[in-house]
Structure 1
Amino acid sequence: MYKNSKINFSFAILFFTVIPFTACYGQQTTNNVKQTKTLRKLENAVNFIVMGDWGRNGEDHQQLVADQMGITAAEIGADFIISTGDNFYPSGVISEFDPLWRTSFEDIYTAFALQWDWYPVLGNHDYKSNPDAQVAYSKISRRWKMPARYYSKKIKIPGTNEEMLIAFIDTNPLIPEFYKNLEYGPNVQTQDSTTQKQWLRKELNNKSSNITWKFVVGHHPIFTGSDARKEGYDTKAVRNSIKKLIDEEEVDVYLAGHDHSLQHIAPKGKTHYFVSGAASEATQVGMLPDSKFAQSEYGFMLFSVNAEITLVQVIDYKGNLLYASEINKN
């Protein structure tokens, strides 16, 4: 179990929806933040790593990113790890005993500092085989914590009575095209996206005065510069399905993967959108008008959250700090 935590699991299941889109195309675009190797850690904070799109038997930089994650987690004292999905390439796992659990997970993320709890969501590649096998693995793994295809957690902020709420959702059933897809369809068709969205609203509408921060984690982005030339149907569908809900429930941060890049997008409104999907592969990315940062680089994100500030630091596989940003609660 991670430190100073209070966990509240809720279970249930999800559906779909559009917004104008413009972008500047770029192979590797950033806001020219100077690379450094200095990391910060807030006082009285929950500290965690966010990574995604990783399971490749250690290949294509997965092992290098994993090694740096271990170094960073030890330096900062990470409490847990969040995976934004596409946990196993190319086609998920077939059971909780699939050999990929060892070759893509257990034998890769071996650093002691990465032995705390992992909280994953399902990606589209995970839907190609048996997504429920990743739920089942939670029963035999000490660190893999996926109690259902979607679930929520409350985490106590150290030194306070405050909590952060994290809702982990399954974005795959929110995409109408997936229902007739030969690979995703069989596992999507069993899901009730309307029920999942009702559940999500109930979780986010929690009236507890102790909840300071609201985070939502899903595999597919709501905004992304990776669609710089033509926006993908999956991005549109997820945005049309849940952005209104996220706005109405005043979510602070939406975390996603799917696109193999590192991004921070801050459109008008309360919610900050982050893409962390470069834990084993890096692909082209562009800057949107609302982008604060976008880079095609192997790496991950480090979050430090206290009662007043969320500090986000983007780190590459060599340990360089590519970007840092603070979100103030008030």
Structure 2
Amino acid sequence: MSWRMEFQYGVLMFCFLCGSALSLARDVDHIVLRDGDGESLNFLVVGDWGRKGEYNQSRVAYQMGRIGEELGVEFVISTGDNFYEDGLTGANDPSFEESFSDIYTAKSLQKPWYAVLGNHDYRGDALAQLSPVLTSKDNRWHCRRSFTLTKQFRIPSSPETMLADSSVQLLFVDTTPFVENYWKIPNEHKYDWRGVAPRSAYIRRQLQQELEMGLRTSNATWKIVIGHHTIRSVGVHGDTVELIHMLLPILEKYDVDLYVNGHDHCLEHIRSVTSKLQFLTSGGGSKAWRGIGESADMNGLEMFYNGQGFMSIQIGPTNLHATFYDIDGNVIHNLDLDKKELHHEDVA
């Protein structure tokens, strides 16, 4: 199976396992990659960026390249709104090169880019971003409506300490179809719902057959869900009501650690007041400075940065470290989580 196949009814899973050889296991909806030393998983997160280098997109890209080199990142995640203002006109739209290939040129960024679609992407030819034509032009580009990435950590044991196997699972969700306002007719904008309509069936398939099944059967130590739209945000877009009602209960039910999104053009960290879930917004890839919403719910707010920037996430067997960077590459906020309960002292 290759990226040329359409996965409308399955979850696309990438499994990064320890080992020195790179192999590709083929299945109906399952790609397995074996590579790396198994010690950690390092990646960058950027969203709301595609403006042909304008609105400081190029400056953010430069700092991403620098930080990516320092951390030795394995890939980059895009939280959507990949091409402004109205997505791509087709698979041969020069905006793909002008906003992506020609901007993110640093050596450290020549790694896979895993992208979800944002609402601005749906305002153009949404299928173009899913097309293998783009991957043939730039083999970094991997965009799907929903898919999963998994990395397994093999932790050596010793006579003194026994460590359970650990893993991280990242589940990507297509959130734009959830927002009811985009479906209204007449609408200010036209949305490309090919492969999505009818809305209710598509949402049910995403939640029940893909996301919930993936979480229910997961034994991952770390569970991270990525989507474009906010669940919680104090930015101008604010909370997304549909996701609070439909997506949030699933994330809390299966003890998801992070929900990572874009949509609001800022950097943001909100701590859930009802569960261990952390909400991280990385939507500062280009145009920003829109401020805090007038009726924002400030409960759980840990950090809000009204400007451009990006995130890095470093995950080890028992610890997770997320860092927010501004346009000059300065650290503006850190989040540290640990799961030391994985360490079991041998008392025999």
Displacement after TM superposition at 1:186 (Å): 4.3
CA contact (8 A) 2:88 2:125 kept: yes
> 1:184, 1:171 → 2: CA distance?
17
Report the equivalent of 1:263. 268
- Going from structure 1 to structure 2, the CA distance change for 1:59 and 1:158 (only over 3 Å counts) comes to farther
- Going from structure 1 to structure 2, the CA distance change for 1:157 and 1:98 (only over 3 Å counts) comes to farther
Which stretch shows the higher mean deviation, 107-116 or 275-284?
275-284
Question: Structure 1: which 5+ residue stretches go unaligned?
Answer: 12-42
- Going from structure 1 to structure 2, the CA distance change for 1:158 and 1:277 (only over 3 Å counts) comes to farther
Query: What is the RMSD computed on CA atoms of the aligned residues?
Result: 2.4
TM-score (norm 2): 0.78
Report the equivalent of 1:108. 103
- Going from structure 1 to structure 2, the CA distance change for 1:243 and 1:118 (only over 3 Å counts) comes to same
Report the equivalent of 1:24. none
Displacement after TM superposition at 1:241 (Å): 1.7
Equivalent residue letter for 2:311: M
Larger RCO: Structure 1 or Structure 2 (Cα < 8 Å, ≥ 6 residues apart)? 1
Report the structure number with the largest CA radius of gyration: 2
> 2:198, 2:61 → 1: CA distance?
34
> 2:180, 2:28 → 1: CA distance?
25
For the residue of structure 2 that corresponds to 1:225, the secondary structure is coil
Equivalent residue letter for 1:308: T
Equivalent residue letter for 2:109: L
Which residue of 143, 151, 154 corresponds with 2:150?
A: 154
- Going from structure 1 to structure 2, the CA distance change for 1:105 and 1:239 (only over 3 Å counts) comes to same
The answer to whether the aligner puts 1:275 opposite 2:255 as a matched pair is no
Question: Structure 2: which 5+ residue stretches go unaligned?
Answer: 1-14, 18-23, 30-37, 157-164, 342-348
The answer to whether the aligner puts 1:169 opposite 2:173 as a matched pair is yes
Q: Choose between structure 1 and 2: higher strand proportion.
A: 2
Report the equivalent of 1:213. 222
Deviation string, structure 1 residues 144-174 (Cα, Å, up to 9, x no partner): 112x311112123475742211111100111
The answer to whether the aligner puts 1:144 opposite 2:141 as a matched pair is yes
Report the equivalent of 2:310. 300
CA contact (8 A) 2:124 2:191 kept: no
> 2:174, 2:253 → 1: CA distance?
20
> 1:10, 1:44 → 2: CA distance?
29
Aligned residues: 290
Equivalent residue letter for 2:336: E
For the residue of structure 1 that corresponds to 2:189, the secondary structure is coil
TM-score (norm 1): 0.82
> 2:190, 2:212 → 1: CA distance?
25
Q: Percent of aligned positions with the same letter in both sequences?
A: 34
Q: State how 1:306-325 maps to structure 2 within 5 Å.
A: 306-325=316-335
CA contact (8 A) 1:46 1:158 kept: no
